[in-house]
Structure 1
Amino acid sequence: MYTATIGKRLIQALNERDGTDWTTRRFVAESFFACMFNTDRYLIHLNNSPFAQAYNQKGKKPLTDAILGKCGEDVHRKIEADERDASIYLGGASSGLLDSTSGQVTSLARAVPADDVYASWVGTALGITIEGGLTLLIDDPEVNLLLREGWDAYRELLDQTPNLKGNQVNTWNGHWLTHRFGKHTPGEQWTPPTIKEDTSMPAISWVKLMFALAYHFRDTRQKVINAYVYLFNKTNKTAGFVRLNLPDVRRMVELHDRLFTVPDGLQVVAFENLYETELSFTKAFQCGEIGLRAIEPKGMFAYYTNRILPKAKADDKPERVVFFRAQKLWIIAMLNDDTLYKHAENLAV
């Protein structure tokens, strides 16, 4: 499972950066468990794992240090006993032919090393959940080192916010990465994501995540990152691999900065924050890569089908100004010719 690959790469990156000698087992036992499961408010919920089973019984048995310690021991024992079902090898097959992920069960003998099992726990916590519920694993050491740093920030936020729902580290990863990699107004203070009525944290918009990645890697002109897209739930779903064409995405923001001034009432980052796409990530994924075509602005389809088109007005609110600008910019970027601004303006306005 690709979670194991990404987990191993994080541990390797930590060792190279810090001069440490973490093994996968020792990292999980001494660092990962201590971060994710050190109180009864977990950072992540892993279905049917020993930690999840103890959490589900916490109304009867409080999650004391002793019980949490035993959960960790149970994980080690199961791994050493070569148990490789989905509750231990995260992203793996179910233990029975009639269970929800039984499609991965095979009669072929395939040994899964203990290192891969431990690494799958780490990799699962590096997933970035976006609006719509899909999760991305990004194959880039800088991204994953930053996500590891974000786990500690999420633990701190959870400890300081009693009404915030736990078990959402993958959702948190999206907000953390967008905050740390995105463009900010000088002196701007970051505000953590708003808590919804059910005390959960909303997932980040996928296009905001793309803009943040594109901005951070703006000096690497050919930066194309591979991401693995999946969904872990009661049933596991795999979408597969997709290329994140960051130079393509970045072109939109570069054109905006070059061609437009910021409307009154909007911060510099408002364009990225207010940008909405026509396609959901599930549909954008089908484009083959996440680039200009995938981030088509919302409302463009109306131009293909209607004779009466919306018009920009002098007294439009700043948010609506962004709406029209996004459409103009996308046309210019797709045509790859900055001199066509006036032609694009006639089409979009």
Structure 2
Amino acid sequence: MYTSFIGKKFLATWNLREGKNLSAREFFDEVLFPLFFDDERHLMHVANSPFFQSVSAKDLLSGKREPEIRRENLHQSVATKKPNASFFVGFAAENTSATTSGQMTVMPGKPVNAPVLENPLSPERQTPTILAIDPEEIYASWIGEGLAAGVGGGFYLLIDQEDLLWGIFEGWKVYRKYLMQTPNLKGRQIETWNGQWLAHWLDGGDADTLKIEPVKKVEQKTKQEHWAVPTLEWTKLVLALCRRFPGKMMTIYAYNLSQTNTTLGFLNLNLPEVYRLYELRDKIFINQPDSVLNYQEIADLEPLFSFKPACKFGLIGLRAIEPKKLREYLPQNDPKRNKDLNLSKEEYHKQFLIFKLWICAMLNKTELLELAGQLADILVNFESSGGDRGTTKEDRLSDQVRSATNLRTFADKWGEVLAKMSGLNNFPENSAETIRNTIHQAVKMPGDHFPLFVALMRFEYNYLKNQARNK
């Protein structure tokens, strides 16, 4: 399991920084166990593990504390049983009827603590077995799982970056303190906690500046209410990573452990592409003090895709973090379904800025934003040429331009606008050249960029109309 790899990778870093040489088991006993399990309020949940089971009355007669007995039971399982998901985090179930039995095999191999048979193909070997696994791998899986960062959708991320793993580790003690100081707070949420803590830590935060507001949850079976650490939206973590590593492509491993283990596998984060949002923010809004998005407002971007569908792109980049509701404002085949943003409300104004920023980052050409603004200005002036007679031919033609869903319609309607403009004098200078340049640029665009450009033009048009109304 990759949890074991990450666990061993971190252990090597920890030993180096602390000047020690602990094995995975020793680290478990001396560092992880005291923080995670030496209290009835655990930090991590491993289904069916000794830490999830009650202690027998017979064992209590020994005079040992329950956490100590559970730890001994874990060590006993590691030493005597075939590895399974109850004590090897993320591994196969114990028997072939369980949902995770696909990780078991009938290939000839030596099960843990099994005698060597003279004939490896004998009937005795034709039963599901698990190839011999070093106990250190098992203990390392607990360390690795403790370093997973949870995001929305119930998925955990493992990141093979030494400094990030250390940052997550620094949050362990903070979580223990937070859990003990927060009444009625659900425990066993280390992965969820790690996601929140990592995003905070990446922006230079520490225990003193951390603010996590618990959310109220209701248990489905018992209907009891309790408080829980909220799950981090996956885009918040990706955006925090891009701010910390703006020039780095990063690989993550995504998975979920529940009744069935789900593996999304290794995914690349295109952090340089995502960071364009921040680069363009400074370029686009530098001279617009009333239209500046701060880091938090960009981080609060609500994505269209939840994490699992976003992974279907194969690469987590700008396209994967498309803002939710943007498609409502893209040109529609049915003109009656076209929507305009109401920029008179502050909430819609911020949404407009997010849409505008994301589209510009996708198009990756600031000159297209300038073109969109110039086209919007042309349309506003074109509509005014029709006078105050209510809805005019000019208004309808302007709407048809802004509703174009394909390049041919877009070019044809701009041609009609250009023809009507030829006999008028109240248009911005070089309007005809701007329109011709636009068509030239649109022809060169990838097909999926064209509707984004039209939407950008619509947004700029809405902005100008709103300004005119507020004068």
Same topology, TM > 0.5: yes
What is the aligned partner in structure 2 of residue 329 from structure 1?
Answer: 357
CA–CA separation in structure 1 for the residues paired with 2:279 and 2:48: 47
1:268 aligns with 2:294: yes
Higher RCO (CA-CA < 8 Å; seq separation 6+) = 1
Which one-letter code corresponds to 1:195 in the other structure? V
| Pairing 1:151-170 to 2, within 5 Å after superposition | 151-170=172-191
Percent of residue pairs bearing the same amino acid type: 36
Q: Residue by residue, what CA displacement relative to the aligned partner does 1:249-292 show, whole Å, maximum 9, x if unpaired?
A: 11112212332268779983332343111111111100011111
Q: Is the 8 A contact 1:75 1:88 kept in 2?
A: yes
Deviation at 1:155, TM superposition (A): 0.3
Structure 1 letter corresponding to 2:249: V
Equivalent pairs counted in the alignment come to: 337
Structure 1 position 322, deviation (Å): 2.5
Cα gap change, 1:196 to 1:13, in 2 (>3 Å) = same
1:159-186 CA distance string (max 9 Å, x none): 10122111101101111011111378xx
Q: How far does residue 35 in structure 1 lie from its aligned partner after superposition?
A: 0.9
Alignment equivalent of 1:111, drawn from 132, 141, 159: 132
**Equivalent in 259, 274, 284 of residue 310 of structure 2:** 284
Which residue of 245, 251, 255 corresponds with 1:226?
A: 251
Letter in 1 for 2:457: N
Provide structure 2 residue ranges, at least 5 long, that are not aligned to the other structure: 110-130, 218-225, 373-452, 461-471
Tell me whether 267-276 or 293-302 shows the greater mean CA deviation.
Answer: 267-276
Judge which range, 7-16 or 152-161, deviates more.
7-16
Contact 2:281 2:293 in 1 (8 A): no
| Cross-structure match for 1:69 | 68
2:344 alignment counterpart:
315
Is the Cα–Cα contact under 8 Å of residues 343 and 352 in structure 2 kept in the other structure? no
TM-score computed with the length of structure 1 as normaliser: 0.89
Maintained 8 Å contact 2:298/2:354? no
Q: Report matched runs for 1:30-179 at 5 Å.
A: 30-54=30-54, 66-108=65-107, 109=109, 110-179=131-200
Whether the 8 Å contact between 1:183 and 1:212 is mirrored in structure 2 is no
How far apart, CA to CA, are the structure 2 residues paired with 1:309 and 1:330? 20
Q: Write 1 or 2 for the structure with the bigger share of helix.
A: 2
* 1:65, distance to aligned residue in structure 2 (A): 6.5
**Aligned twin of 1:236:** 261
Cα deviation, 1:23-63, whole Å, max 9, x if unaligned, reads 111101111111101210000111011011138x89xx8xx
Report which stretch shifted further, 108-117 or 205-214: 108-117
The CA deviation at 1:239 is 1.4
Is residue 252 of structure 1 aligned with residue 277 of structure 2? yes
Aligned partners of 1:230 and 1:239 also within 8 Å: yes
Is the 2:293–2:353 contact (alpha carbons within 8 Å) kept by the matching residues of 1? Answer: no
CA distance in 2, matches of 1:100, 1:163: 33
Look up the equivalent residue of 2:266 and give its one-letter code: F
2:243 is the counterpart of 1:215: yes
Is 2:46–2:52's contact at 8 Å kept on the other side of the alignment?
yes
Deviations 1:179-236 (A, max 9, x none): 111378xxx9431133224312221000011011111123xx2x11111111111221
The alpha-carbon distance between structure 1 residues 17 and 183, as it changes in their structure 2 partners (threshold 3 A), is closer
- Check the 8 A contact 1:244/1:289 in 2, yes or no: yes
TM-score, normalization: structure 2?
Answer: 0.67
Check 1:314–1:84 CA distance in 2 against 1; reply closer, same or farther (3 A cut). Answer: closer
Change (3 A) 1:278 1:35: same
Q: Distance in 1 between matches of 2:75 and 2:193?
A: 27
- 8 Å Cα contact 1:24-1:119 kept in structure 2: yes
Checking the alignment, whether the CA contact within 8 Å between 1:101 and 1:236 is kept in structure 2 is yes
Distance 2:197 2:10 in 1: 17
Q: Distance in 2 between matches of 1:257 and 1:166?
A: 42
